[in-house]
Amino acid sequence: MGKTIIAGPCSVESREQLREVTEALVRLRGVSMIRAGVWKPRTRPGGFEGLGEPALGWMQELAKEYNAVYCCEVARPEHVALCQRYGIRAVWLGARTTGNPFMVEELCHALQGSSMAVLVKNPTSPDVRLWLGAIERLQAAGIDDITAVHRGFSMYHSSGYRNAPLWEVALELRRERPEVPILCDPSHMGGRADMVEPIALAAMQLDYNGLMVEVHPHPETAWSDREQQLTPAALGQLLEALRRLPTTVSGEALPALMALRGHIDDLDHELLTLLARRMELSREIADIKREKGLTIYQSKRWEAVMQDRLQLAADLGLDEDFTKELFEKIHAESVRVQMES
């Protein structure tokens, strides 16, 4: 399968709970690391805030007994120091931490010189620069085992998700930092156990490197994030579904795929040639405008162009927002070219 699977409870609740889930996850095979929150960032006060240091002691003990690797969330330099004291080799920065450069900077200080693996969840707001910034700060601190985790974003309208996946934001991160593997956290995206599998499968279609999934031995009794945690058996089924996914395009599909890709390459070349011609015409127009003393930007003409293109796009079945953005870009470039000429 070749995917990294991190699974485990939202929070450590007792030595027995941790033992039970560890035993089940080790038995499943394919789980490379066990997640378990020890300090829980709560959006509002009053919720379970984690057991802290005693939980780390159980993790250290069970890591030896089951030959398991644990990871937990850190938000303060003291958390990092405690993890190191208890032999925890991997930590994650939660969404509320990634979004705060002061906190990230302090954690970088604490992590400097260690060989800990660090997972970086996306910030709660869809600003890829905050996410990139946290990764870059860690890289600058000499941490080289860094993995990004897309856990969805807080949106005013989250259309059925707890935290809406914004695949395009994560794609931007991958474009900027192709060396950083990325996992999907379908649990915090969906907020419901039945949403985990479809989201995880969507992430696989986008070639994510793996998953971070919340798994609890008895989800109905969980002290935090009760609705979204899977049972170990349900994780087993999800892993089965992942194993059934085709890894390479097989047999007959291949020539058809190659032919279609060839067509797309041809069309892209045509598109660029047409855009170059369009900019050439803009330069000629600029000459006339200059001669006749007309301004480069002509609002009436631009409005008419946009109306016409949107109408045609609608007739052709193209998305309105996409068309609008595309022509705003083209127009901006045309204005730039005219200013320059």
Does residue 94 belong to the site contacting ligand PEP (CB under 6 A)? yes
Q: How far apart are CA 57 and CA 226, in angstroms?
A: 24
Does residue 174 belong to the site contacting ligand PEP (CB under 6 A)? no
Does residue 103 belong to the site contacting ligand PEP (CB under 6 A)? no
Query: Do 128 and 172 contact (CB within 8 A), yes or no?
Result: yes
Does residue 37 belong to the site contacting ligand PEP (CB under 6 A)? yes
Q: How far apart are CA 146 and CA 44, in angstroms?
A: 29
Detail the DSSP E strand segments found in the chain.
4-8, 33-35, 70-73, 90-93, 117-121, 146-150, 182-184, 210-214
SS3 83: helix
Among residues 10, 71, 195, 196, which is the contact residue for Mn ion, using CB under 5 A?
10
Does residue 193 belong to the site contacting ligand PEP (CB under 6 A)? no
Tell me the window of 15-23, 110-118, 132-140, 217-225 that interacts with Mn ion (CB under 5 A).
217-225
Q: H helices of 99-231, where?
A: 101-111, 128-140, 167-176, 186-190, 193-205
Burial environment of residue 244 by CB neighbours within 10 A (0 to 12, 13 to 18, 19 or more):
exposed
- Nearer to ligand PEP (CB atom), residue 12 or residue 239: 12
Binding at 189: pick from ligand PEP, Mn ion, none (beta carbon under 5-8 Å per type)? none
Does residue 189 belong to the site contacting ligand PEP (CB under 6 A)? no
- Nearer to Mn ion (CB atom), residue 10 or residue 88: 10
Q: How far apart are CA 66 and CA 62, in angstroms?
A: 6
Site string for ligand PEP, 113-132 (x = CB under 6 A): --------x-----------
Among residues 6, 7, 10, 88, which is the contact residue for ligand PEP, using CB under 6 A?
10
SS3 153: strand
- Nearer to ligand PEP (CB atom), residue 137 or residue 216: 216
CB 159 to ligand PEP: min, Å = 18
Does residue 185 belong to the site contacting Mn ion (CB under 5 A)? no
Does residue 99 belong to the site contacting ligand PEP (CB under 6 A)? no
Identify the DSSP state of 230: B
Does residue 197 belong to the site contacting Mn ion (CB under 5 A)? no
Which residue matches tokens 């892209």? 268
Among residues 193, 225, 235, 323, which is the contact residue for Mn ion, using CB under 5 A?
225
What is the phi/psi pair of residue 251, to 5°? 30, -110
Radius of gyration over every alpha carbon of the chain, rounded to an integer in angstroms: 25
Does residue 188 belong to the site contacting ligand PEP (CB under 6 A)? yes
Q: Which residues bind ligand PEP (CB under 6 A)?
A: 10, 37, 41, 94-95, 121, 151, 188
Q: Which residues bind Mn ion (CB under 5 A)?
A: 10, 225
